[in-house]
């Protein structure tokens, strides 16, 4: 695996591969890699001749009360995992390389509508930071394909919308969430959980499944479905188990607007605090017309 930090070195290697007629897939990460990240690399290999990954802890997507300095950095282990997964090139820029004029003078990307609400409301400015850095990385790597994990469902919708709106010639490939046996979605933040917290954390996914079952049951019986009421009941269960619900909503799967009874493609989005960790999860649900 080639590892580069400099933009010139990255572009030189990409140019060489392009001249050889090779296609490129891209997996952007913030490091501290787990099996979920490696599944993105594995998926990327299915679509392209060469796979580029990046590790960059992006300061623009951290809020005022979010401690970027304590974000886990495990570069050596990450490089080993990416090498074992057959990654062809790793790009590891510093903030000075990505934002040479500082954040205050940096142009940025806003993706309206899908960035609003949910994590966008709980973490103001977060999706501006995500969209901006992903757009910049896309400009540097110029991939044919880019893979993103569906655990961050709203993020995937933000990036897909940005690509569509800005006419970027990049295929976005969403990749299914990798979970522990308990159902807990793999996340870098799981490292913050104590043994006791890790035991109760799966209630988040279990609550999403309960909502999905209730929605499917109501739909099959042609009953009126109280999406808001179901979400409130699930939040109460999550809180009673010792977590603290940030949000839980049933939404249209693409627009992320609150679900209506006419919607057949749904997603249930949720976030909850468990000790020091803020966990997010989702469950996609397709209703079949009778």
Q: Which residues are catalytic?
A: 37
Q: 245 forms bridges with which residues in the sheet?
A: 272
d(CA 5, CA 21): 24
Q: Report whether 53 contacts 29 (CB < 8 A).
A: yes
Report which of 149, 162, 179 is spatially closest to residue 115, judged by C-alpha positions: 162
Report which of 107, 91, 86 is spatially closest to residue 11, judged by C-alpha positions: 91
Spatial CB neighbours of 266, under 8 Å, sequence gap ≥ 6: 215, 250, 251, 252, 253, 259, 284, 285, 286, 287
Q: Report whether 44 contacts 145 (CB < 8 A).
A: yes
């Amino acid at each position: 695996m080639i590892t580069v930090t400099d933009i010139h070195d990255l572009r030189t290697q990409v140019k060489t591969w392009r001249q050889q007629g090779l296609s490129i897939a891209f997996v952007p990460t913030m490091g501290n890699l787990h099996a979920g990240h490696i599944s993105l690399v594995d998926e990327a290999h299915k679509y392209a001749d060469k796979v580029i990954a990046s590790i960059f802890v992006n300061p623009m997507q951290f809020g005022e009360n979010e401690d970027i300095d304590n974000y886990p950095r495990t570069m050596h282990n990450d490089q080993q995992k990416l090498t074992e997964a057959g990654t062809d090139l790793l790009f590891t820029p510093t903030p000075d390389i990505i934002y040479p004029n500082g954040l205050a003078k940096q142009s940025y990307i806003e993706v309206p509508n899908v960035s609003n609400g949910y994590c966008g409301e709980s973490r103001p400015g977060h999706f501006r930071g995500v969209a901006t850095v992903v757009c910049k990385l896309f400009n540097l790597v110029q991939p044919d394909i880019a893979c993103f994990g569906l655990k961050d469902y709203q993020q995937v919708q933000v990036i897909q919308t940005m690509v569509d709106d800005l006419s970027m010639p990049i295929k976005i490939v969403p990749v299914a969430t990798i979970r522990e046996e308990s159902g807990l979605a793999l996340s870098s933040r799981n490292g913050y959980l104590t043994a006791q917290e890790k035991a109760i954390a799966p209630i988040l996914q279990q609550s999403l499944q309960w909502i999905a079952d209730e929605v499917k049951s109501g739909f099959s019986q042609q009953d009126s479905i109280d999406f808001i009421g179901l979400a409130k009941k699930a939040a109460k269960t999550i809180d009673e188990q010792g977590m603290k619900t940030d949000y839980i909503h049933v939404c249209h799967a693409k627009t992320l607007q609150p679900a209506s009874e006419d919607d057949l493609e749904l997603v249930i989005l949720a976030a909850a605090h468990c000790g020091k960790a803020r966990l997010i999860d989702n469950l996609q649900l397709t209703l079949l017309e009778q």
